[in-house]
Structure 1
């Protein structure tokens, strides 16, 4: 009898690496608007901006953006709970509430304006500086335009505790929530019910701001109808108040504590004040940045770092108790974008933040129009750029790539522009009147805005999308129907079929695509009837469609990411990673045909598909070594759960490999 050792080897093929992302974020130009801030006890400063949540670590001079699935949209409020717990509320373009329990490594969505409301009204919008997280219980409280709500740590449903719609300055003390409406209110979760007024207030005054000092005293500013303010201090949690200071000539809307005795207070319009004696006396704060300027702070975040944010793009910091301030804006990049537009062979135009316009080439965004506040953009075939300002009441034109802009005259009824498109020498705009009943028109100019054809009324509601095919036919999409004009917008005819259209696009072969809710419709050969091209899940909302030079169809949606078809809409593949998970609202083609997308919360992303990396060579690893006595033959049975190929090697007792005939080898998993 020979003793042989059977070595069972699993021929394991290493998993192929995940394909690189097809959509990649474009880092916007330097500068972003700051709306709120918070100073953590470890010296870390958090800044809520129009482009997401930024962090300035202790000792650092450059901000880092907080990502890991957190949106890069407008932040309304920031709050801290127990160590490592951060809660962030976003107000635009979607109202969202996120919580992290591991210092921002991962984030959990706990409130969504459209999906995960969980007790919040679907129309809720967070109030600024109206968020708190209890460090003891983990409860989260938020003030919204619909009222005040609390999310218990052991619950997934928000509970209403107050109907007040304008609240701010939220704090938890010993599991009791304090915040202000007109006066100070509190909510004790242990007792339940609703929020109630706290104690005695100064007669004839209004509480304008509230904070808790480093010595745990309640501090608030009350202002009188005459416009003066006085700081009030309470050591019994708002039951009684004392007045340690003389009156300030301005209404005070924010307080920042450097220490219990050193306070900076301001309005956001006039220069701030400073007290070095706990509020007994006040002097001008005299905040001057190293450029020599003395901008007016919108708010200040104080502690070991004093970070001051201004109404524009500037942010400064002091490390010497406010004696000097230095610019600290590195790393704060524009992210939130309102519009994009482009043409093949030309640059991409991006209206960032509050309409600030940039021209983007390759990897840098060049600031081209500091006074331009355009929220709608269109680029004609001759590279002329057209823009609509924030109020939507006019159209402007630039003939030099956005360097200079001229008002386009002769448009008498431009009360509000919903959409604009330029192609083949014509510019079309869709408008609505501001008076009721509202009337919806489409206007056209063929001479660069010198004169405009009379507006044609479209009866079924706002026109959200416009498109022009190669024949010059104009398509107009509404929430109830789609129309086509074959005479340059003079008359419109209803197209048959089921298509509504929030998005329209024309392919190189002249097929027209329309998107609405979860449906993509296609119109072939300038026919009059739509056909269904594709149906997506019912919970998505299509906002954008584009077709590239090869006929590839891109569909962007809210809650559906980006879907891409390479076969004229017969099949789609969908991307929902964090670059596009917040939704895609607009596409634009620029440069050599590169596709760009404007996302809901991640800024501008570019389509740059990477080929999947080749699979690595197969590797072997032993699954087991089993001594088996063999005379002439033996049956060796194994039960495997792997689907990888299996090889059986046989060795003698001194380790020499022995050739052996295997009568039968079953596939893995069969034994």
Structure 2
């Protein structure tokens, strides 16, 4: 027996011994999940400064700075700060829903937790939803639960680490005594993510919280916490085995509130690797209301190759337990059943195919048992998996979107079940066996990009997390139509013909459609273009000086002169090279490309390893910007001034991390020298930049949209009512002055940008002393 196995064995469930947790020496000493592809794109951007901290505290600080800037804008530039954003849509797509609470008193009333979109209320049995959470607060959610007399609790921060997307942290548990009308924070501020809330139905002041902890930083509030005064105070009742382990599940035996079960998960995300399993992953039981706990190991694995656990208890027969676990690297490992309350466990013959976990079991981690039938079990996975024989086998349930997260039965309506997944909310009146009906109004979609038809700004396309490429051609608030893709990434509308639409999935698998996203389609990507590596969001852009010219870039820039039908490589590898091992981070791909509107020979390119390049002879020669001038972090966007090819802007992800690292930089000499013009912006990742022809500069960040003169220097908040979801992409429609923002969790929004007469292209654009304060001053006077 190894030392590790011996230590694990000391925590085995016995009748005579109760322990709080194994010793911290169980911490894993080597990575168990190196990332071989950049499939955590949003996370990788934000950690490209080498930071290991994407904590809720950092975002809270940045939001505080954004709030201060908004207050100053309302005071000094009131017409800017009080402008209204309009929700454009979509209303019918939905987005990732991670928890559901059924109102025990009000028929048909349901509350849901949208992963990065806040808490929502439905009064019509999940058909339509309205906000039940402030737009001005952080939108990351992990859990919701409601007492029998209608007190609603929300645990902030999502407990699932992201794939191509990101899961943002939260700042504790909140309580609402008026069903989401108002909220009060009641503790666990340093928990980062709450995986589950469990209410003792015999004493509803007793509530357990599964605190998952910070995905990026060890320590903090982790494990199982208990309040016995309705949330006013909390105490830790189950400590984690080490400082990278947190609780993801806590379940109360419905027949015996003294018996409580919990699942622990050992996980850490670092800049160049993920460790999504280890010796801390484990199942626990308390028989005295949470005072003491025993680790359950009789019949369960005790080695370190354990990923995320899921556990559920059958209400009809509380001695019946179900559990499943993945491996540390992500695939399904095994399914277990206990018929004696966890004293012993037996592995069932469930296969990896039946489990439908793919290679990312850490994305799901949930089990649900029919409260009226102990043999009727659901396992969340890519597909919704259902067993009617006590988990001896599972089969998929069709008719719903992929990637399942939560099921809840309505105790007032027999056979009614609600489902939350990456596509939103569904309801079944057939006890989950089928007949699923999707919500018709659920405006919490996570967008990566958006584009607007130059011919008509009411025509839009967008790429959404796990919801494909979509076309919003049906007006404000209207339904959007799916037009393909997996995760929807880059989307484009032809500048002169809105029927020509481009859509991209992961790693640059794109298409060209001459039928507004319909068939037939022409593929763009591997086989048509030249590159050894392609980013999760591969850039595809038009040349604004010629609508027949397009650019596509993996690690090499490709150019098309026939509107995407054929392609020619026009650059060498513009990155530092090397994917496919941790030392190759950040994988070496081009992330953004922009052509000058006034000079088709001038291009600017940015990469995931912090490089900037420029060419003024259409790629015959490429010039790398001196690295000493740059922050060295992921280049999120480059843009060229509409009136001068030698003026360009670059935005960067990451935080300043105590340094003077720039978020927005500008060149006035064609890329030779760059200066930081982002001073005064909140310290948060900047994702998009748009210079206007009349001298304004617009940026989209993780904490809002901001405006300055073309030369930077002084910044103001644009608009007062944009929800606090990350702004991933901005698209400006010059003729109408409409700015469109794609948010990650609250859909697509529009605002009209004010006219600022003093910010004119007649100014000496390359004079760094001109156009800073004057532009905003004239906005104040004329807006």
Q: Shorter chain as normaliser: what TM range?
A: 0.5 to 0.7
2:318 corresponds in structure 1 to 217
Structure 1 residue 170 corresponds to structure 2 residue 250? yes
Q: CA deviation at 1:596?
A: 0.6
Secondary structure, counterpart of 2:666 in structure 1: strand
Q: CA deviation at 1:494?
A: 3.3
Q: CA deviation at 1:282?
A: 10
Task: Say whether the 8 Å CA contact 1:518–1:540 is kept in structure 2.
Answer: no
Q: Distance in 2 between matches of 1:26 and 1:514?
A: 28
Secondary structure, counterpart of 1:456 in structure 2: coil
Q: Distance in 2 between matches of 1:578 and 1:176?
A: 46
2:512 corresponds in structure 1 to 397
Gaps of 5+ in 2: 1-77, 227-231, 265-280, 327-331, 357-364, 577-587, 653-660, 756-783
1:24 corresponds in structure 2 to 86
Structure 1 residue 184 corresponds to structure 2 residue 283? yes
Q: 1:359 aligns with which of 452, 471, 489?
A: 471
1:282-321 alignment runs, 5 A limit: 300-304=407-411, 305=413, 306-309=416-419, 313=423, 316-317=426-427
1:546 corresponds in structure 2 to 690
Encode CA deviations 1:180-213: one digit per residue, 9 max, x unaligned.
3575314799999xx9644573478999753345
Secondary structure, counterpart of 1:411 in structure 2: coil
Task: Say whether the 8 Å CA contact 2:249–2:263 is kept in structure 1.
Answer: yes
1:481-500 alignment runs, 5 A limit: 481-495=611-625, 498-499=629-630
Encode CA deviations 1:1-60: one digit per residue, 9 max, x unaligned.
xxxxxxxxxxxxxxx999754323323141335554434461653444567444334767
1:458 corresponds in structure 2 to 574
Q: CA deviation at 1:587?
A: 0.7
Encode CA deviations 1:507-560: one digit per residue, 9 max, x unaligned.
33223223336553333364733344441246233221112343321012223x
Q: 1:514 aligns with which of 646, 650, 653?
A: 650
Moved more, 73-82 or 448-457: 73-82
Q: CA deviation at 1:378?
A: 3.9
Structure 1 residue 502 corresponds to structure 2 residue 618? no
Q: 1:582 aligns with which of 716, 725, 746?
A: 725
Cα 1:159/1:339, change in 2 over 3 Å: farther
1:232 corresponds in structure 2 to 338
Q: Distance in 2 between matches of 1:228 and 1:570?
A: 57
State the TM-score, normalized to the length of structure 1: 0.67
Cα 1:282/1:187, change in 2 over 3 Å: closer
Task: Say whether the 8 Å CA contact 2:99–2:142 is kept in structure 1.
Answer: no
State which structure, 1 or 2, has the greater radius of gyration over its C-alpha atoms: 1
Task: Say whether the 8 Å CA contact 1:62–1:328 is kept in structure 2.
Answer: no
1:16-415 alignment runs, 5 A limit: 20-33=82-95, 35-40=97-102, 42=104, 44-49=109-114, 52=117, 53-57=119-123, 61-69=127-135, 76-79=142-145, 83-90=151-158, 91=160, 93-97=166-170, 99-102=173-176, 103-106=179-182, 118=190, 130=196, 136=205, 140-143=209-212, 148-149=222-223, 154=233, 161-163=240-242, 168-171=248-251, 178-180=261-263, 184-186=283-285, 197-198=294-295, 201-202=298-299, 209-214=310-315, 217=318, 219-221=320-322, 232-234=338-340, 238=341, 240=343, 256=368, 259=371, 264-268=376-380, 269=383, 272-274=386-388, 300-304=407-411, 305=413, 306-309=416-419, 313=423, 316-317=426-427, 325=435, 327=437, 329-333=439-443, 335-346=445-456, 347-361=459-473, 362-363=475-476, 364-370=478-484, 373-383=487-497, 384-390=500-506, 392-404=507-519, 405-408=521-524, 409-415=527-533
Q: CA deviation at 1:262?
A: 6.6
Cα 1:366/1:329, change in 2 over 3 Å: closer
Q: Distance in 1 between matches of 2:79 and 2:604?
A: 44
Encode CA deviations 1:302-339: one digit per residue, 9 max, x unaligned.
13242243878585535687799562523234521122
Cα 1:203/1:51, change in 2 over 3 Å: closer
Q: Distance in 1 between matches of 2:296 and 2:550?
A: 63
Q: Distance in 1 between matches of 2:750 and 2:211?
A: 35
Q: CA deviation at 1:486?
A: 0.9
Secondary structure, counterpart of 2:491 in structure 1: strand
Q: Distance in 1 between matches of 2:126 and 2:241?
A: 40
Moved more, 162-171 or 537-546: 162-171
1:427 corresponds in structure 2 to 550
Encode CA deviations 1:49-91: one digit per residue, 9 max, x unaligned.
5674443347675333433138797855445579332224325
2:738 corresponds in structure 1 to 594
Q: Distance in 1 between matches of 2:335 and 2:673?
A: 67
Cα 1:24/1:216, change in 2 over 3 Å: farther
Cα 1:180/1:294, change in 2 over 3 Å: closer
Cα 1:71/1:264, change in 2 over 3 Å: farther
Gaps of 5+ in 1: 1-15, 121-125, 433-440, 612-671
Moved more, 256-265 or 445-454: 256-265
What's the C-alpha RMSD, in Å, of the aligned pairs?
A: 5.1
Q: Distance in 2 between matches of 1:110 and 1:336?
A: 28
Q: Distance in 2 between matches of 1:372 and 1:273?
A: 28
Encode CA deviations 1:475-500: one digit per residue, 9 max, x unaligned.
11346453210121232113468355
Encode CA deviations 1:436-471: one digit per residue, 9 max, x unaligned.
xxxxx3222223341312542224554333221111
Task: Say whether the 8 Å CA contact 1:227–1:251 is kept in structure 2.
Answer: no
Aligned length: 563
Q: Distance in 1 between matches of 2:472 and 2:173?
A: 34
1:656 corresponds in structure 2 to none
Structure 1 residue 474 corresponds to structure 2 residue 603? yes
Which structure features the higher share of strand residues?
1
